[in-house]
Every structure is written in C-alpha cells, then in structure tokens.
Amino acid sequence: MTLLACTDFDAGYARSAPCVRGLNIGVEEGEVVALLGPNGAGKTTLLMSMSGLLPSLGGSVSVAGKTLTSGKPRAAVRAGVVLVPDDRALFRRLTTEKNLRLAIRERGRSSARKSLEHVLQYFPALTPRLGVAAGQLSGGEQQMLAIARALLQQPRVLLIDELSMGLAPVVVQSILPVLRDVAASNGTAVVLVEQHVRLALEVSDRAIVLVHGQVRLTDDSSALARDVGRIERAYLGGAE
C-alpha cells in the first residue's frame, strides 16, 4: 500500500518561485527511500512542507489516502508524519530521558514506560546516558536521541533530514540498520535525506534524485549502487 503520496506538489518560500515543482512521488508501507540531490535541490524544503512546517504552494500530500491540510504540523503528526530535522531540535538543557518523556507525556505511566523500554532497545547506547543533558551527548548520541524521540511518536511516515551530518561514518553505520528494522517491523515508510550516497543506497530500497526541485532519476537502490555514475550524472544534469 502507498502510505505517503505527493501529487503535483509544489513547495517553497514564494508562490512565484517554488523550489519543488509538480512533484509526484509515493512511498510504500515498509519502504525506505533515500532522497538524494545536490545542495539547494529542495530536499529540506520538501520534508518541511510534507510535515506541515511550511505551507505548501500547490498540489497535495496524503497519508494512506487521506489528504493532509497544508501548513499544519500537529495535524501531520496526528496523521503519522514525523520529521527528524537536520538540527535535531533537542532540548539541550534537558536530560535525555526528559527529551524522550516529552514525546509521550500524554500517555499513562505504564504505557510510557513500555514505550521507553521499547525504543531504548533500538538504541541501547542511550540507556546509560538517560540522566545526561542532551547538549552534553556526542553527535551520534544526539542523533540517536532525535530518532528515538521520533519513534516514540509512532510514525507511519518517518522523515529524516541529513542523518549523518557531522557524524563519523562508523556512527552512521550503527544508526542506519535501525531504520530498516523500523520499516520492516512496523511498516513505517521512511524517507531519508543523506549526503553519503553509498550509505544511503545501502540502507534504502529505492532512491529518488531531486535536482532543481524535480525528480531527475528514481530506481531501486541496489541497481543504482551497481552504477553510482548514474546519480553523479543526474546531479550534473546530464543524461542517465
């Protein structure tokens, strides 16, 4: 089933000049899609618009067939769209545990505890860091915390911007398998913006290359991994 669909979708900051134009993409239940593209291609703008943080400029986004209201982030979260932004948006002075608990503050004590235990199984490295301020965590731990907090919101669609920004590849490699796991076990549709093309292809089922706000290339990640030159040529604007 197609969980996330953008139809004739325009996004950006000025109606006269959308950064993302006429986008038609779908992400299946349990699918991990890598959203690739050069700087300024519109990847962040697209994620912000899909998650309601930026009003759309045209077209629609739907989750499981239900159209989202443009520019309404809370409604998007209620529909199951959760964004991990590139700055991770943690409360740096609050402890790791408090950051996590804020995501589940409306749940009963026992349900909150179970959810917390469940999410910490994905990131056991966070358990000994629960009492530490988020701002004191390493970059990798902060990214784990940001993803763990997003998972506590039980996303049907998980959008992750620049997962590896500022992180060593070895750290990224420890985080990426969690996304596969979440997609496989919960049926979550995952959209991952990632600058490291090879890492992105390793973890994803399919890649979409966005250039100047339009889809320039899309294919199975395994096929693209065998000929990464196709992606480079797409970035440069050449033929596939």
Ligand X SMILES: Nc1ncnc2c1ncn2[C@@H]1O[C@H](COP(=O)(O)OP(=O)(O)OP(=O)(O)O)[C@@H](O)[C@H]1O
Binder of ligand X out of 8, 13, 78, 136 (CB under 6 A): 13
Q: Which is nearer to ligand X, 4 or 208 (CB)?
A: 208
Contacts with ligand X: how many residues (CB under 6 A)? 10
Beta bridge partner(s), residue 116: none
Binder of ligand X out of 4, 6, 19, 32 (CB under 6 A): 19
Here's the x/- map for ligand X, 37-76, by CB under 6 A: it reads as x-xxxxxxx-------------------------------
To the nearest whole angstrom, how small is the minimum distance from the Cβ of residue 195 to ligand X? Answer: 7
To the nearest whole angstrom, how small is the minimum distance from the Cβ of residue 12 to ligand X? Answer: 6
When asked if residue 88 is in the footprint of ligand X (CB under 6 A), the reply is: no
Binding site for ligand X (CB under 6 A): 13, 19, 37, 39-45
